[in-house]
Amino acid sequence: MSPASLRPARPSLRVLIVLAVAQIIGWGSVGLTAVVAPLVAADLGMDLPAVFAGNSILYATMGLLAPILERAFVRYGARSVMIAGSALAGPGFVGLALASGPISYFAAWILLGVAGSATLTNAASILLNEIAGSGARRAIAALMLVTGLSSSLFWPTTAFLTGLGGWRGTCLIYAGAMWFLCLPLYGRGLSPRAPPAAGVEPGSDAIAPPRSSTFWLIACGITLNAFVTFGLSAILIELLVAEGVSRPDAVGYGAMLGVVQVGARGIDFLGGGRWDGLTSGLFAGILVVTALILLAASGGTPGAAMVFILLYGLGSGVLAVVRATLPLAFYDRGAYARAASRIALPLNLVTAAAPPILATILTSFGWEAVLLLTGGCVLTATGIFLSLRRHRPAAPTPIRA
């Protein structure tokens, strides 16, 4: 067997473009509440927290559905599951457009959560792993670098469409985008998975998964970091204000955070061939802990707040990639699909719960309690990642041309 044949496969540029466009549309469209929440609240007679609870329902549903979809990903392949999810997302947005009160509004978000579990980040990562196995790390990092721009692209788009046809009309346009853009992209832009050899069960090409204790360490480390990053991002402005930063400055720092996080994903992408997700997770955890300690000791001075945004943005941006790439250090092919689907359950539930939990702690116990809790979570996760170094499978001998 030639050395070239032993190199990991790489997703084609066409596959990356298809996934990037569809993922930007998917994440950008479900983020519409950031723009239209006041209009929805006034129209449906709901308060703002109830409107934003729709996104929490989205994440919770995605998490609960992920283990159920695990078998479909392994048996039928990610492309087939994503096609079905795109078809289902259309009725979800139609239901949102036709909502007349809280019950129908939340029901639409449940449907969108089912569709999201089949189409969004976890599904895209599984598809790239089907193509490239452990060589998918850079492709996943590149995809997440691009999709990090979804809110920057879709918030003004949503505002423009809402100005033309109202929030209900915007939902109908996004339903059309699911049917007439994402569905053809997945159906025609992605090739069907190659059929397995005769007598081989789909997904059986996976390496034997590490013992269950390794899986739980991976899941706990990823989930603890997600609790911190999703929770802090939601309450960042209020946290900085409580620390003594003026509200206009806090808003400015919050706007900087997204730019820094996207930049961190770019750095991780450029170094994707030199280190794996476990190494990235360790480095990012150290950055986040350092940022939290600095913020706690600074007293809210503008200079310290800016350094906090820089360090925290770099660390949290890399951790967003680690959530998808860390299992690649331990699993391949079908085993990755199983592991990623099972990790998605606690990950999405934490994503839904972290903002209200940290907001409650901030208002009830103060910023010190928030920093103590989040710092403890990241330290614990970093310790877990350190212990995982002993569980990592031996890397194959590098192949030279």
Q: Give tens-digit pLDDT for 110-164.
A: 999 999 999 998 899 889 888 877 667 778 878 887 887 787 788 889 999 999 9
Integer Cα distance of 204 and 333 in angstroms? 9
High-pLDDT (> 70) share of the chain, %:
87
pLDDT digits (tens, 9 = 90+) for 252-310: 887 788 788 888 877 777 665 566 778 889 999 999 999 999 998 887 687 888 999 99
Number of H helices, E strands in the chain: 16, 0
CB 110 within 8 A of CB 61: yes
Cβ contact 401:6 at 8 Å = no
Place of tokens 């994402």: 182
Report the distance separating Cα 273 and Cα 264, nearest Å.
16
Distance CA 164, CA 159 (A): 9
Q: Are 371 and 289 in contact (CB under 8 A)?
A: no
Contact in structure between 171 and 96 (CB atoms under 8 Å): yes
Q: How many residues does the chain have?
A: 401
Looking up tokens 């034997």, which residue turns up? 208
Contact partners, residue 246, CB within 8 Å, separation at least 6: none
List average pLDDT for each run of 10 residues in the chain, which is 401 residues long.
48 87 93 88 90 89 90 90 96 96 96 95 88 76 80 86 95 96 93 58 45 84 94 85 85 80 77 72 93 86 87 91 85 79 89 88 91 96 91 50 29
